[in-house]
């Protein structure tokens, strides 16, 4: 089989629990053709932060090795890498173009200038990941998302700007570049997940994407068709596993298995007599526990998690959750009873989402834990042609250029 090098697109999702690499290309009818998937347990990362560079490099190497089984090693022309952690922050920037006193027709270079004007002042501690134009006000009253070709005297732009702590970003990307794969762009994992699961209607009426991972919850609020607020809550599914392991005196891995098989966050939905057998560890006898007794502490934890999530959403300044409600995804969203728990507590629509409606996407990837990785692949396809490789030592200035190019392409 002949390999056409430049046709591959690659997404690398470095999650705290699992690292996923998906390689794909676009078929003749616009469908996705997945040519490789690698998923491996992440080592060297916690809460979205790298705590062991060598282990993380090895994690990415293993995931790449599996994914590259069919493409062959060294045929990737760069990857889009998902990043997260508490170092993520966002703000919306509004800028007014200089009033020229005369009517102009807004062209794409004018739009580019406006987008560039939203770049925050150079801050040595953070790097800008995204500057996404969300709306333009023409002459103070005409709001539009695409002003191209319109006449106006003044143009105001509003952009959603997502930044990340420079050191956290550098550490995460190093695990990719040290495996000799260049980084075409770094993408906030919440935005990547949204790319594969949020519908057009959910963007328009407003909704909140919530990607529940191993140790982070990524949040993106959508309003009027665009991302409007991005943040990260440093809590994920491993908190439940830790509780179960501690309560039952079993290792983390056994706690994980019990959570996935028997965990539930709505005790009222669990048969009150149903028992489960917990294997004995370190000389202990096996024991039986009521499934409902496990569900109760899980419920308390998840109510607490929901409180943190709603607090994070209100920190955006929104007075109410948009009417499209919550769109939950990520491995942690699979916890039994979670949509019911959210419904009970917030009385808003909740949808458990996974990548779907994507032509050519195999069912194996239509699962909540793949939302972010599939979104990265879609991102890579959307931004193809902007791929760049750069010398590692000059990575930061290059990333700024790449990010700039990418976002400019969104409006051009
Ligand atoms: N069926 C299930 N029920 C409950 N929890 C589950 C289920 N399947 C997976 N999980 C949980 O999902 C979490 C992992 O999700 P995911 O793979 O999306 O995380 P990640 O992307 O590696 O981490 P992060 O996004 O925090 O960096 C784990 O805590 C795991 O226990
Ligand atoms: Mg994740």
Decide which of 121, 142, 165 is a domain's last residue. 165
Do 347 and 240 share a domain, yes or no?
yes
Cα 86 to Cα 28: distance, rounded to the nearest angstrom: 41
Ligand nearest to the CA of 45: 1
Domain count for the chain: 2
Do 213 and 331 share a domain, yes or no?
yes
Do 217 and 155 share a domain, yes or no?
no
Ligand nearest to the CA of 213: 1
Give 198-236 pLDDT, tens digit per residue. Answer: 999 999 999 999 999 999 999 999 999 999 999 999 999
For residue 244, give the CATH number of its domain: 3.30.420.40
Do 160 and 207 share a domain, yes or no?
no
Q: How far is the CA of 58 from the centre of ligand 2 (A)?
A: 18
326 domain-assigned: yes
For residue 123, give the CATH number of its domain: 3.30.1490.110
Decide which of 144, 165, 186 is a domain's last residue. 165
61 domain-assigned: no
DSSP annotation string for 90-159: EEEEEEEPPP-SS-EE--HHHHHHHHHHTSPPP-TTEEEEEEEEEEEEETTTEEES--TT-EES-EEEEE
Do 259 and 321 share a domain, yes or no?
yes
What are the DSSP E strand ranges found in 249-372? 275-278, 287-290, 326-329, 350-352
45 domain-assigned: no
Do 150 and 262 share a domain, yes or no?
no
Domain of 153? 88-165
Q: Are strands 9-14 and 18-26 parallel, antiparallel or unpaired?
A: antiparallel
In the chain, the largest separation of any two C-alpha atoms, in whole Å, equals 84
Global pTM reads 0.91
CA distances to 85, 102, 205, 354, 360 from 201, rounded to whole Å, are 28, 37, 6, 16, 22
Pocket of ligand 1 (CB under 6 A): 15-18, 48, 84, 213-216, 236-238, 241, 256, 259-260, 263, 330-332, 334-335, 369
Burial 52-90 (b: 16+ CB within 10 A, else e): eeeebbbbbbbbbeebbeebeeebbbbbbbbbbbbbbeb
Cα 128 to Cα 198: distance, rounded to the nearest angstrom: 23
Assess contact for 15 and 59: CB atoms under 8 A.
Answer: no
Which pLDDT score, from 0 to 100, does residue 385 have?
A: 57
Do 127 and 220 share a domain, yes or no?
no
Decide which of 116, 141, 165 is a domain's last residue. 165
Q: How far is the CA of 22 from the centre of ligand 2 (A)?
A: 14
Do 211 and 341 share a domain, yes or no?
yes
Which pLDDT score, from 0 to 100, does residue 98 have?
A: 63
290 domain-assigned: yes
How many distinct helices (H) and strands (E) make up the chain?
11, 20
77 domain-assigned: no
Q: How far is the CA of 212 from the centre of ligand 1 (A)?
A: 7
373 domain-assigned: no
Do 265 and 127 share a domain, yes or no?
no
Q: How far is the CA of 331 from the centre of ligand 2 (A)?
A: 8
411: left (phi over 0), alpha (psi -120 to 50) or beta: alpha
Cα 346 to Cα 208: distance, rounded to the nearest angstrom: 13
- Residue tagged 């906030």 (tokens): 188
Mean pLDDT by 10 residues, the chain (412 residues): 62 96 91 94 89 96 93 84 95 80 85 88 90 91 89 91 95 95 95 97 97 97 96 96 93 94 96 89 85 95 98 94 97 98 94 94 96 96 59 36 42 32
1 domain-assigned: no
151 domain-assigned: yes
């Amino acid at each position: 089989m002949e390999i056409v090098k430049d046709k591959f697109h690659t997404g690398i999702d470095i999650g705290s629990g699992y690292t996923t690499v998906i390689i794909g290309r676009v078929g003749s009818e616009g469908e996705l053709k997945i040519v490789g998937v690698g998923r491996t347990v992440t080592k060297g990362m916690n809460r979205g932060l790298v705590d062991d560079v060598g282990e993380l490099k090895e994690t990415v190497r293993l995931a790449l090795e599996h994914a590259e089984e069919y493409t062959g090693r060294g045929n990737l022309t760069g990857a889009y890498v998902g990043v997260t952690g508490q170092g993520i922050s966002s703000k919306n920037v509004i800028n007014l173009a200089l009033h020229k006193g005369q009517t102009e027709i807004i062209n794409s270079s004018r739009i580019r200038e406006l987008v560039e004007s939203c770049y925050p002042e150079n801050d040595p501690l953070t790097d800008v990941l995204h500057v996404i134009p969300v709306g333009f006000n023409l002459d103070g009253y005409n709001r539009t998302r695409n002003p191209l070709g319109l006449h106006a005297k003044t143009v105001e732009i509003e952009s959603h700007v997502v930044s990340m702590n420079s050191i956290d970003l550098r550490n995460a990307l190093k695990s990719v570049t040290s495996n000799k794969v260049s980084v075409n762009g770094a993408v906030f994992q919440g935005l990547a997940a949204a790319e594969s699961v949020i519908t057009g209607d959910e963007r328009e009426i407003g909704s909140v994407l919530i990607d529940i991972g191993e140790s982070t919850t990524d949040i993106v609020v959508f309003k009027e068709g665009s991302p409007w607020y991005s943040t990260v809550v440093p809590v994920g599914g491993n908190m439940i596993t830790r509780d179960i392991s501690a309560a039952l005196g079993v290792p983390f891995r056994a706690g994980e298995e019990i959570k996935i098989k028997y965990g539930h966050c709505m005790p009222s939905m669990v048969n009150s007599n149903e028992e489960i057998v917990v294997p004995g560890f370190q000389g202990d006898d096996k024991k039986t526990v009521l499934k409902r007794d496990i569900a109760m502490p899980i419920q308390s934890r998840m109510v607490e998690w929901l409180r943190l999530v709603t607090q994070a959403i209100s920190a955006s300044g929104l007075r109410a959750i948009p009417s499209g409600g919550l769109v939950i995804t990520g491995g942690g969203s699979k916890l039994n009873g979670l949509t019911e728990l959210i419904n009970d507590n917030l009385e808003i629509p909740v949808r458990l989402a996974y990548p779907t409606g994507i032509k050519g996407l195999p069912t194996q990837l239509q699962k909540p834990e793949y939302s972010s990785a599939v979104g990265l692949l879609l991102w890579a396809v959307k931004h193809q042609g902007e791929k760049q490789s750069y010398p590692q030592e000059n990575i930061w200035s290059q990333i700024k250029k790449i990010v700039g190019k990418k976002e400019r392409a969104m409006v051009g």
